[in-house]
Amino acid sequence: MTKNNIIWHMATVTRQRREEANRHRSMALWFTGLSGAGKSTLAHAVEERLFSMGANTYVFDGDNVRHGLCRDLGFSREERSENIRRIAEMVKLFLDSGIIALTAFISPFREDRQRVREILGPENFFEIYCRCSLETCEQRDVKGIYRKARLGEVPHFTGITAPYEEPEQPDLVLDTDRQTLAECVEAVVKAIKERASFDC
Ligand code: ADP
């Protein structure tokens, strides 16, 4: 592929070889939901389980990405889309490296998540909706940010002054305000075991 004299280098150590060595497929577990819904907690807890089973994993966390790769982006509609697009392109490279990527981004817009599905390929994208009422997220207020949002100090805050579009056909729904963390972790591991062709 040539574009502006940029040529894609083909690796000899391919994704397929890496997957065979890892004894599982690479894929993205895409956690979506309101701030405080449990995406980050779940991504790390699921990673802990998969890693202890011998899988190659990595968690991509919203705040971490915004410290570096996407530090120039804010929270307008366009900037959120660009944030998610960059993350998808980064995760795509990581899928080539053979890992199971677990992502914890609010990713509030359906259109943006659909684009991730297209960038990664539908067979690599497993959408997990962390469903939790706004009231519970607000009560948890893990980062104290809901309080600030109610005071008008956080523009474009999802659930308060910006929309969250629920997934229409997620691969898995977790009711994080009714199920325990352990139950949610079990549900994810059970759901992806076959999809990731686990043999480790
Ligand atoms: P997010 O990444 O979606 O912003 P966090 O993971 O930072 O959310 O915070 C979720 C909070 O909810 C944590 O304090 C966590 O302990 C709590 N929690 C309670 N039940 C669950 C559950 N079933 N799954 C995930 N988190 C839960």
- The mean per-residue pLDDT over the stretch 27-47 comes to 98
Gap from CA of 104 to ligand 1 centroid (Å):
11
- Among 40, 41, 63, 189, name the best residue to mutate to test ligand 1's pocket (greatest count of ligand atoms within 8 A of Cβ): 41
Residue 51 · residue 189 · CB < 8 Å: no
Give the total residue count for the chain: 200
Average pLDDT score over residue span 85-93: 97
Residue 182 confidence (pLDDT):
98
Architecture of domain 15-193: 3-Layer(aba) Sandwich (3.40)
Q: How many CB atoms lie within 10 A of CB 176?
A: 27
39 pLDDT above the threshold of 80: yes
Nearest Cα residue to 166 out of 118, 190, 117, 132 = 132
Return the percentage of the chain with pLDDT > 90, whole number. Answer: 86
Instruction: Report whether 198 contacts 24 (CB < 8 A).
Output: yes
Lowest mean pLDDT of 22-26, 60-64, 116-120, 174-178, name the range. Answer: 60-64
- Alpha carbon of 132 to ligand 1 centroid (Å): 9
> Please, which pLDDT band fits residue 2 given cuts at 50, 70 and 90?
low
**C-beta 176 within 6 A of ligand 1:** yes
pLDDT for 1 beyond 60: no
What is the C-alpha to C-alpha distance for residues 88 and 47, in angstroms, rounded to an integer?
A: 19
Top mutation candidate among 39, 134, 142 for ligand 1, by most atoms within 8 Å of CB: 142
Residue 64 pLDDT: 85
The residue-averaged pLDDT of 82-87 equals 96
Average pLDDT over residues 171-175: 98
Q: Going by C-beta distance under 8 Å and a sequence separation of 6 or more, which residues neighbour residue 173?
A: 128, 129, 131
Residues 6 or more apart from 5 whose CB is under 8 A from it?
none
The H helix count followed by the E strand count for the chain is 8, 7
Give dist(CA 22, CA 6) in Å, integer. Answer: 31
Is 42 near ligand 1, meaning CB less than 6 Å away? Answer: yes
Residue 87 Cβ < 6 Å to ligand 1 = no
Catalytic residues: 107
